[in-house]
Amino acid sequence: MTPGDRMTNDAALDAVVSGTSDDPCAVLGRHRVVADGQAALVIRTLQPAASEVQLVTADRVFGMQRKRREGLFEAIVRLDARTPEDLAYRFRVREGALTRDVIDPYQFGRILSDVDVHLFGEGTHYRMWERLGAHRVTIGAVEGVHFAVWAPNAQRVSVIGDFNRWDGRTHVMRRLVPSGIWELFIPDLADGEGYKFEVRTHAGHLLHKADPYARCFEVPPRTASVIWTDGGYQWRDQEWMRDRASRDGWRERPMSVYEVHPGSWQRVPEEGDRFQTYRELADALVPYVREMGFTHIELMPIMEHPFSGSWGYQVVGFFAPTSRFGTPDDFRYFVDQCHMHGIGVILDWVPGHFPKDGHGLAQFDGTALYEHADPRKGEHQEWGTLVFNYGRDEVRSFLFSNALFWLEAFHIDGLRVDAVASMLYLDYSRQAGEWLPNQFGGRENLEAASFLRQLNTLTHGRVPGTVTIAEESTAWPAVSRPAYVGGLGFSYKWNMGWMNDILRYAKEDPVHRRYHHGELTFSLLYAFTENFVLPFSHDEVVHGKGSMLSKMPGDTWQKHARLRALYGYMYGHPGKKLLFMGCEFGQWREWDHDTSLDWHLLDDRLHASLRRWVQDLNRVYQREPSLHEVDFDGAGFQWIDCQDHENSVISMLRRARDPGDCTIVVTNFTPVPRQGYRIGVPEAGRYREILNSDSDIYGGSNVGNAGGVDAEAHPSHGFTHSISMAVPPLGSVLLKK
């Protein structure tokens, strides 16, 4: 070596041992040099805890010289016939009384391809979960884990874990210029090892960050990512998946969704009130949902989140099912069981914001990387969270990949996108002067709208048969219309207007309801402008709003009767259905994420009867095409009488694609039975009473029509025929010819 080389290397060596080097590959590992006029290899390693290190090849052992007291060791091996330039070797490291063999990660070259890096950088890599993060790979005969992370403004990035005593100097990653991606292959790491990335900022601060693409995490409150190898689970839902891929008519199929918070649906009280695992939920929740007649389970976010009180809506591990309930394969088992029982799985997905936890995405490399730098665009003041930068290509790659990951790797059937309104409006929950207008001076977040259009185009195109659902509470147009006609491209939109109107109406004392009749009927003025889902979600049974049952006025019997009538009206109204867990049997208290549902209430006849009513509504809803087949077209709906505000009775006609197949829904929102109540019907014949919420089996007073009623040639409500029927108090009746 020349003196100049020694001086350069001295500075580089000092940077490596001090943890400030951004190019460890220039120092560590194997390098060709000229020593005393002869070609040689210089091989270096940093082993801070070692008292001695030897270099071991296939046929020789070399002592290594300590070059720095911090644990930098070096050996020079002359190149000859026994020593090729690509010499394979390992280190024998003595630490106290223990000796272990270590394969040098710096003898391996770059792994990520230029194509991967390019597509990620332009926002069009849609399977980035297969490239970034921690992945088990084999290079030659050596098995290990390839780590890769995006941190373009970091001074250096290291992998830290128990395997290196969480020392960021030991496994410094290779920077891939100019992408901002860092990578390193570390041999001989086992699944279950905890790890993080140590990010050194240009200001010299050390940040310990969880892997944004990690597949698994420690159980909170611990925060490390965990090495996990996918590929071992044997799916058994092939028939479901084949059928799903061929489905074009989701809009014409019944969709009755049971919304679930996995941590509080049903705990295990005899074992310290612990959570049920994914596998226990599969064996208990899935048969229950099938028995109840729901077509789908919607899970509140199961992506890893540090704070249970966020209900999962403040995500840190976007690619990891929370370890609170088991492993990723345990969650696959849950989805598999759902599919084998004929139940679809929808996940709440949160691309609108993320928390500020120090180990998460916030200020990931010391700069605003995933979020906007300006808090007027980058911070949700109401929630104390940060907003994704939808205009940054690498962030779009992250989010697009994440959506497709759940649909493909976990066979999820749909994503309910949370808080879409907060994404679409720059002034969402902000006062004047606290937000920045778009380039045209408006309040619309054009980057977010573009992101959502591309998201929906991707998911519908790449994973046929899956759906996306927008929780969107404003009048943004065409949310559930295709992107190619200017819509946002969602399959469905939650009908928050209907939900607010009907709950306001339901809370009114019956004597006053005649003055609020418009709240009952207004939703039909816009019912077919979007593909709506009618939600009674978790948001309506928390924060002082009361449970669904406690919202109803009157005594206990009347509360149950009113809730049955409300559900009957809901199932007759156009739109898919969603009901939060516990609402099906009349939970009295508000939902509490820290405790189980009050299953003991089912010992009471009224609560058990309410559950049976919901069960039978689901059964009839699925059986009758007229109740689900034409949900989003006016041809599937007709008022019989929407103007009887004096009696607070409403009657409607639902039609299937076959216009001769129809169901009549009549609901009385007062406690007064209506005998001889006349409504028009489409044709002559006998109209069978297929459901009556006032039946004794549902806890009612048994006011009904003895199984059916005959039509008379008596014109009414624009029809040539009519029936004179008994409409029960606080009751909903479904009739079919």
| Cα separations in angstroms, 639 against 498, 644, 655, 686 | 17, 12, 11, 20
Cα–Cα distance between 278 and 92 in angstroms, integer? 43
Active site residue: 298, 330, 394, 471, which one?
A: 471
For β-strands 181-187 and 194-200, DSSP reports them as: unpaired
Burial of residue 589, with CB atoms counted within 10 A of its CB: 0-12 exposed, 13-18 middle, 19 or more buried: middle
| Cα separations in angstroms, 490 against 471, 481, 528, 531, 718 | 10, 7, 15, 9, 37
Secondary structure (3-state) at 551: helix
Q: For 499, which DSSP code?
A: H
User: Which two structure tokens, joined as six digits, stand for 245?
Assistant: 């891929």
For β-strands 414-417 and 467-470, DSSP reports them as: parallel
Active site residue: 74, 183, 329, 418, which one?
A: 418
Alpha helix stretches (DSSP H) within 310-378: 328-340, 375-378
Cα–Cα distance between 393 and 390 in angstroms, integer? 8
The answer to whether 471 is a known catalytic residue is: yes
Cα–Cα distance between 517 and 540 in angstroms, integer? 21
The answer to whether 382 is a known catalytic residue is: no
Cα–Cα distance between 452 and 488 in angstroms, integer? 6
Q: Which residues pair with 677 in a beta bridge?
A: 725
Cα–Cα distance between 622 and 253 in angstroms, integer? 8
Q: State the number of CA atoms in the 13 A half-sphere of 478 facing the CB.
A: 12
For β-strands 576-580 and 256-260, DSSP reports them as: parallel
Full DSSP string of 114-183: HHHHHHHHTT--TTGGGTSEEEEEEETTEEEEEEEEE-TT-SEEEEEEGGGTT-TTTSBPEEETTTTEEE
Catalytic residues: 418, 471
